[in-house]
Amino acid sequence: MKETQQPDREVLLDMYRRVNLIYQNDERLRSAIRSGKIATTYYSPRGQEVIPAAVSVNLTDEDYICTIYRGVHDMLAKGAPVKEIWAEIGGRATGTCKGKGGPMHITHPATGVMVTTGIVGSSLPIANGLAWASQLRDDKRVTVAYFGDGASNIGAVHEAMNMAAVKKFPVVFVCQNNGYGEHTHYSLSTSARQISDRAAGYQMPGVTVDGNDPVAMYVAAKEAIDRARNGDGPTLIEAKTFRFMGHVLGDADGYMDKEEKKQAMANDPVPRFRQWMLDQGHAQEEQLAEMEAAITAEIDEALAFTLSSPMPDVAELKRDVFAEELN
Amino acid sequence: MKETQQPDREVLLDMYRRVNLIYQNDERLRSAIRSGKIATTYYSPRGQEVIPAAVSVNLTDEDYICTIYRGVHDMLAKGAPVKEIWAEIGGRATGTCKGKGGPMHITHPATGVMVTTGIVGSSLPIANGLAWASQLRDDKRVTVAYFGDGASNIGAVHEAMNMAAVKKFPVVFVCQNNGYGEHTHYSLSTSARQISDRAAGYQMPGVTVDGNDPVAMYVAAKEAIDRARNGDGPTLIEAKTFRFMGHVLGDADGYMDKEEKKQAMANDPVPRFRQWMLDQGHAQEEQLAEMEAAITAEIDEALAFTLSSPMPDVAELKRDVFAEELN
Amino acid sequence: MSAKVNFIQAINMALDDAMAEDDGVLVLGEDVADPQEGGIAGVTKGLSSKYGELRVMSTPIAEQAIMGAAIGAAITGFRPVAEIMLMNFTTVAMDMIINHAAKLRFMSGGQTSVPLTIRTMTGAGFGNGGQHCDYLEAWFAHTAGLKVVTPSSPADAYALMRACIADEDPCLFIENLPSYWVQGDAPERGTVAELGKAKVLREGSDVSLISYGRTISDCLVVAEQLAEEGIQAEIVDLRTIAPYDKATVAASVEKTGRCVIVHEAVTPFGVGAEIAAYLQDELFGSLHAPVKRVGSVFSPVPFSKPLETAFLPSHDDVISAVKSTFK
Amino acid sequence: MSAKVNFIQAINMALDDAMAEDDGVLVLGEDVADPQEGGIAGVTKGLSSKYGELRVMSTPIAEQAIMGAAIGAAITGFRPVAEIMLMNFTTVAMDMIINHAAKLRFMSGGQTSVPLTIRTMTGAGFGNGGQHCDYLEAWFAHTAGLKVVTPSSPADAYALMRACIADEDPCLFIENLPSYWVQGDAPERGTVAELGKAKVLREGSDVSLISYGRTISDCLVVAEQLAEEGIQAEIVDLRTIAPYDKATVAASVEKTGRCVIVHEAVTPFGVGAEIAAYLQDELFGSLHAPVKRVGSVFSPVPFSKPLETAFLPSHDDVISAVKSTFK
Ligand SMILES: Cc1ncc(C[n+]2csc(CCOP(=O)(O)OP(=O)(O)O)c2C)c(N)n1
Ligand SMILES: Cc1ncc(C[n+]2csc(CCOP(=O)(O)OP(=O)(O)O)c2C)c(N)n1
Ligand SMILES: [Mg+2]
Ligand SMILES: [Mg+2]
């Protein structure tokens, strides 16, 4: 493996901003849901913030991602607009998808958020198609497909990895291994010692990395993205992390190992990253506080925007089913 | 890998008998089809005879197999009756499946031929269920799932291997790697250096073996079958071989590498095994000739039986759709 | 019988009683065992603690492997109840269901049967959007070899589930997620319904409302409203969608001369089409009005609440369909 | 226009012309490129040599990956034509087709469209048995967001294929394997049909035969036989099954007062159910007889020739259905 440059200060600040945005967004969204302001099922990415932040600082708006129901962190990191994301989750006409898709299907092509799927494993085959398009256009775009550890056991994932390897698609497969698929622990569903071990079966580089370590995650992501951009084909990254809020908001976590969870939460990547930035002198307290306050304001605005936005008109049921409106 | 005993003379003779049965069966079936005596699409296993023979001498009638459209060698090796197989291929009421399934769906539970599928990859998930049943009954049966190299790239195969590994099902996955899936060469469809490399992703033993070498194939099969029978879980065997007759009978082979094919056919495993048996003193010429003559007679009988058997009654369309006959 | 239970409890009782009575009854699916909390809604809670995790098996997220394991075990004589969590996820297991479960009996000429029950839940109303709420029963009903069953009350859920488990053929048992917690009379333990039999839930002379599952409760409400206007509606609960009870359906409509079919699946090419096609043929010349169909709007299931509400058939939709038959 | 071509040639021309006109048109599937002989029947022969193997891409055997690649490329503006070799193999790709291709436009609020054509072939008559001949068009027609198209002549195959490729929505294009080699008038190059438009292939005053695909040729034969008995049948070729041309269908049946719907799919819950349900409503009171349906026998497709023949709708079946409308 070649030596990848560590992220410089600017990049670290950018990463931290994305991490904090995801973090605050999640806290606020959960409280908006708990207080009844917004009604939705919610799959919190709390604890997994660093992964897409480290990936996305290596991507441009032109690059594509495909993500999943637990994907609001991936979208935010990619730069999709907070307001429209909130409005979509709130089912408003002003949402990214006019309220028709909802949180599991947020789409925002302008920032490269091409597909969000609620079907386990289905982000990967479609990501291949985006990557094939880039080969055809020779546009040097990279596509990232996010998926979970549980998803690694479903057929579509395997088919997609093999095809990508055979076709040398410019795609990066990022498995966010948070230790659980719904209520099932990794050890009970996944036969791989580590998921990256499966890459060898596709002659694809595979790496397991601490997804909560910003520098390690950055390095792994950068290498994979560079490889894809240079036409050297796909990579499988297994980013180890933890799911702080259980599978779905309201989940009682009875099936989780208490000790495992306690330890993971004590090791919360968000304050850890913040402290490290300060300790390393990459940022000053005031600077971060200011950044965080701006994010808070952005989220305030998103919430207000959502609550003041209209619900979609029922005529929307006839639109976008086909290109031509139904009558 | 522990030292597995080499097959003794009796076993070698038994293997050779199965190989020769498959070989003669194929030659005769092709000529019956070519001459119009039997009308069917036919996926010849010519060149792959040794694999199921070496597997099946390690199995009993109680053990199960699931095989595929190119599977007549697997069934014959397992001991399914030649007459009923022919009659099924001939669409006769006396066939294993009363002519309703045809060559792609031959089933014969009495000899453990539980499922034959025409869907690429679908033999494996069902094999798992047979193996689960054996765990439940604690009956020490072993299930073998046969599939092709092309099939190794489809989702069902991956799902089944992972589940088998997690559940330690007593199953053996035998991939008959004949270098092609329909018209596509291995190198253009399969990213694995060798298919057995994929086993590591399931923490499953995986081995690549010359499937045309009777002793090597026997050893690999015996180890895997013993492992399954002892409750130590699944194994992936990649048995390298070659498909002499193309994908389907009548296939012009234009897509095949002429040199590769020529070499493979020059190395025909059937006469090679025969010669080796003689050279090693495992058998006398007369003994083999006698065995072969008996097989010829058996096939003569199967052909005659088929041609003299009635076609199924159209009332059969209402039967076996459900347990209760439709009206 | 004044005790009340909801659908979850009733189905749980049915599984429990069937497992207690017959060692061959198995349960498998994602999170179904107790360490995983007996599924996301707890339908299988308590079973693994009672019957062990070999008979009540939590699986990886791999619907093809789930169905394959169920089919394989069923062939050997077990009676698995496989959960495909949501009906939309049957789309990743259709090969196993359609090409294998439904056809193995026929293709094997009656040698192998598949006494399998597939439990799946679905239904709009909870804001789960486009990929989690589809009603696909018409697909399965169009497949020879499958039975399709859905209950409209907890007591019926019990008796119909018992019937599916007892049946020698693969049955798809559809549960409605939004009405899981609706209470009804407790079932009489041990009752096994007869498949293929509809039930007249309300007698009436003027119009027949034919429905199944959750929309039965809508029909019951609508019938009372209609009664106030002097229209006596008869309600026929199909219970078994395939094969449906032609005699009961025809008898009701022959009596009333008018018919409205109500379901949550989208109208075009839905179950209502089959019933209407059957009735116009069977009762030609004796109908007072065309057979009317009320289903969901022909669009993907929308997320936003007002759209979701407008998508589903409303009481008003049913009432105006009924009234149109009096014009 | 006296030149004759078969379906294979016509579809090949359509693909060729579309690819020549528009760089965005792509072809992918198993064996579709020339080194793999342009597919098992050669439908795509010559295309990769002309347009390159990046635009005409042979794939691994992995239908989910095929559909995913097509969907992803379509989202970015390409117009892929993806081959799922046989219709039964759509069962392994249903998630991609139903949950993604059909719904992404709607779920994204119109931001992403999927101008994709899925080519698939099927049809009993060649002894391919239970897993290779199913007609599943009713499933796809029941799905909002998909169009379903099938031609009955080579010229129409050309024009309809061009229409599917030009369409902004996902279209399923169904080809009939047993009639691939049937000749018809050569298409006028460049003709693009209008989707959703049926065609009256024969005018008649006494009964409407509504059909599509291969059974159109049966209807044409039957109509001549009926004419000898003084019954003038009008033949309506749907061409687009979903959305079907209600106006043309209704106008024909309004004129004749009698209708028989003919298709090769099994009758229950088939396309005929929808058409019959529509007509009895639209033309209530003006029909001289109930709308009749003629489809295949409700069983899996049998292998043995006499069963396969009895399974398919026969000319006699159509004639007796017609005659029954005169009783
Ligand atoms: C094909 C399919 N099967 C089952 C589900 C139900 N389901 C939703 S999320 C989930 C767990 C996925 O686990 P993982 O891939 O680890 O992702 P995570 O939720 O941990 O981020 C399951 C089983 C689904 N959405 N799709
Ligand atoms: C799901 C599915 N896709 C495609 C096919 C068509 N098909 C039949 S055989 C075959 C090739 C399979 O190759 P391999 O697995 O190597 O087996 P072999 O024929 O070489 O024994 C294909 C693509 C199929 N039967 N099922
Ligand atoms: Mg997870
Ligand atoms: Mg092969």
- Does C219 lie in the same domain as C158? no
Q: What is the pLDDT averaged over residues D85-113?
A: 98
Q: What is the pLDDT averaged over residues B23-51?
A: 97
> What would the pLDDT profile of B233-255 be if each residue is shown by its tens digit?
999 999 999 999 999 999 888 89
> What would the pLDDT profile of C32-65 be if each residue is shown by its tens digit?
999 999 998 999 999 999 999 999 999 999 999 9
Indicate whether A307 pLDDT > 80.
yes
The one-letter amino acid code at C177 reads L
Q: Is residue C190 part of a domain?
A: no
Instruction: Give the span between the Cα atoms of B69 and D86, in whole angstroms.
Output: 15
pLDDT score, position A327: 81
**Domain's final residue, options D125, D154, D185:** D185
Indicate whether B218 pLDDT > 70.
yes
- Does D319 lie in the same domain as D173? no
Tokens 């199960």 found at:
B64
- Does C87 lie in the same domain as C29? yes
Q: What distance in Å separates residue B89's CA from the closest CA in chain D?
A: 9
- Does C282 lie in the same domain as C209? yes
Which residues in chain C land under pLDDT 70? Answer: 1-2
List alpha helices for D112-190, DSSP H. 137-141, 154-166
**Does the distance separating the beta carbons of D100 and A117 come in below 8 Å?**
yes
Give the distance from CA C64 to its chain's centroid: 21
Instruction: Give the span between the Cα atoms of C219 and C225, in whole angstroms.
Output: 10
- Does D281 lie in the same domain as D181? no
For CA atoms C271, C272, C276, C282, the dihedral sign is positive
Chain C interface mutation, best of D274, D284, D311, D326, highest count of C Cβ atoms under 10 Å? D274
Task: Supply the CATH number for residue B23's domain.
Answer: 3.40.50.970
- D261 phi, psi to nearest 5 deg: -100, 130
Residues in chain D within 8 Å Cβ distance of B39: 127, 305
Q: Which of A95, A133, A155 sits opposite D76 (nearest CB)?
A: A133
Q: What distance in Å separates residue B157's CA from the closest CA in chain C?
A: 9
**Does the distance separating the beta carbons of B117 and D307 come in below 8 Å?**
no
Residues in chain C within 8 Å Cβ distance of B128: 65, 68-69, 72
Q: Which of A109, A160, A319 sits opposite D65 (nearest CB)?
A: A160
- Does D271 lie in the same domain as D133? no
Radius of gyration of chain B (CA): 19
Radius of gyration of chain C (CA): 19
Residue B247 alpha carbon, nearest atom of ligand 2: 19
Among the listed residues A191, A192, A273, A268, the one whose alpha carbon sits nearest the alpha carbon of residue A236: A192
pLDDT score, position A1: 41
pLDDT score, position B3: 63
- Does D179 lie in the same domain as D313? no
Instruction: Give the span between the Cα atoms of D89 and C264, in whole angstroms.
Output: 28
Instruction: Give the span between the Cα atoms of C90 and A6, in whole angstroms.
Output: 45
**Mean pLDDT value across chain B:** 97
DSSP state of D96: I
The one-letter amino acid code at B179 reads G
Percent pLDDT > 70 in chain B is 99
pLDDT score, position B2: 52
**Does the distance separating the beta carbons of C96 and B130 come in below 8 Å?**
no
Q: Is residue B4 part of a domain?
A: no
**Does the distance separating the beta carbons of B129 and C69 come in below 8 Å?**
yes
> What would the pLDDT profile of B255-280 be if each residue is shown by its tens digit?
999 999 999 999 999 999 999 999 99
Task: Supply the CATH number for residue D309's domain.
Answer: 3.40.50.920
Which residues, listed in sequence order, are joined to residue A173 by a DSSP beta bridge?
A145, A236
- C265 phi, psi to nearest 5 deg: -65, 155
Indicate whether B298 pLDDT > 70.
yes
Kindly provide the b/e burial profile for residues D62-85, where b requires at least 16 CB atoms within 10 angstroms of the residue's own CB.
bbbbbbbbbbbbbbbebbbbbbbb
Tokens of B94: 């006396």
pLDDT score, position A5: 81
Indicate whether B131 pLDDT > 90.
yes
Among the listed residues D208, D149, D156, D194, the one whose alpha carbon sits nearest the alpha carbon of residue D173: D149
Indicate whether B1 pLDDT > 50.
no
Residues of C catalogued as catalytic? 63, 132
**Mean pLDDT value across chain D:** 97
Q: Is residue A176 part of a domain?
A: yes
Within 275-314 of C, beta carbons closer than 8 Å to D belong to 276-277, 280-282, 284, 287, 289-293, 298-300, 302
- Does C11 lie in the same domain as C142? yes
Q: Is residue B311 part of a domain?
A: no
Q: What distance in Å separates residue A256's CA from the closest CA in chain C?
A: 9
Q: Is residue C280 part of a domain?
A: yes
Tokens of B261: 């094919």
Spell out the residues 6+ positions from residue C74 whose beta carbon is closer than 8 angstroms to its own.
B129, C80, C101, C113, C114, C115, C116, C170
Within 194-253 of A, beta carbons closer than 8 Å to C belong to 247-248
Q: What distance in Å separates residue D283's CA from the closest CA in chain A?
A: 21
pLDDT score, position D172: 98
Give the distance from CA D154 to its chain's centroid: 12
- Does D269 lie in the same domain as D315? yes
Q: Is residue D191 part of a domain?
A: no
CA dihedral B137, B138, B140, B142 (to 10 degrees): 50
- Does C305 lie in the same domain as C163? no
Q: Are C55 and C19 in contact (CB under 8 A)?
A: yes
Q: Are D198 and D244 in contact (CB under 8 A)?
A: yes
**Does the distance separating the beta carbons of D300 and B189 come in below 8 Å?**
no
Within 5-24 of C, beta carbons closer than 8 Å to D belong to none
Number of folded domains that form chain A:
1
Q: Which of A153, A197, A204 sits opposite B159 (nearest CB)?
A: A153
Q: Is residue C194 part of a domain?
A: no
- Does D208 lie in the same domain as D158? no
Q: Is residue C41 part of a domain?
A: yes
Tokens 């022959």 found at:
C254
Domain of residue C213, residue span: 199-324
User: Which protein residue's CA is at the shortest distance from atom 5 of ligand 2?
Assistant: B120
Q: What is the pLDDT averaged over residues A205-230?
A: 98
- Residue C280, CA atoms < 13 Å, CB-side half-sphere: 37
Instruction: Give the span between the Cα atoms of B155 and B121, in whole angstroms.
Output: 8
Helix (H, G, I), strand (E, B) or coil at C192: coil
Q: Which of A119, A126, A155 sits opposite D71 (nearest CB)?
A: A126
ipTM rounded to 2 decimals? 0.98
Q: Is residue C15 part of a domain?
A: yes
- Does D224 lie in the same domain as D107? no
Number of folded domains that form chain D:
2
pLDDT band at A2 (very low <50, low <70, confident <90, very high): low
pLDDT score, position B213: 98
Tokens of D60: 């691994």
- A201 phi, psi to nearest 5 deg: -70, -10
**Domain's final residue, options D185, D220, D248:** D185
Tokens of C37: 């909390």
Helix (H, G, I), strand (E, B) or coil at A173: strand
User: Which protein residue's CA is at the shortest distance from atom 22 of ligand 2?
Assistant: B182
Tokens of D8: 């294979």
> What would the pLDDT profile of D165-187 be if each residue is shown by its tens digit?
999 999 999 999 999 999 999 99
Residue C52 CB neighbours (<10 A)? 12
Q: Is residue D192 part of a domain?
A: no
Is the minimum CB–CB distance between B167 and chain C shorter than 8 Å? yes
Helix (H, G, I), strand (E, B) or coil at D159: helix
Q: Is residue A324 part of a domain?
A: no
**Does the distance separating the beta carbons of C298 and A326 come in below 8 Å?**
yes
SS (H, E, C) chain B: CCCCCCCCHHHHHHHHHHHHHHHHHHHHHHHHHHCCCCCCCCCCCCCCCHHHHHHHCCCCCCCEEEEECCCHHHHHHHCCCHHHHHHHHCCCCCCCCCCCCCHHHCCEHHHCEEEEECCCCCHHHHHHHHHHHHHHHCCCCCEEEEEECHHHHCHHHHHHHHHHHHHCCCEEEEEEECCEECCEEHHHHCCCCCHHHHHHHHCCCEEEEECCCHHHHHHHHHHHHHHHHCCCCCEEEEEECCCCCCCCCCCCCCCCCHHHHHHHHHCCHHHHHHHHHHHCCCCCHHHHHHHHHHHHHHHHHHHHHHHHCCCCCHHHHHCCCCCCCCC
Q: What is the pLDDT averaged over residues D281-308?
A: 98
Give distance in angstroms: CA of C325 to centre of ligand 2.
53
Give the distance from CA A93 to its chain's centroid: 24
Task: Supply the CATH number for residue C102's domain.
Answer: 3.40.50.970
Answer whether B72 contacts ligand 2 (Cβ < 6 A): no
**Domain's final residue, options D158, D185, D212:** D185
The one-letter amino acid code at B240 reads K
Give the distance from CA C92 to its chain's centroid: 20
Is the minimum CB–CB distance between B135 and chain C shorter than 8 Å? yes
Residues of D catalogued as catalytic? 63, 132
Give distance in angstroms: CA of B177 to centre of ligand 4.
5
**Does the distance separating the beta carbons of C306 and A41 come in below 8 Å?**
no
Tokens of A8: 């410089």
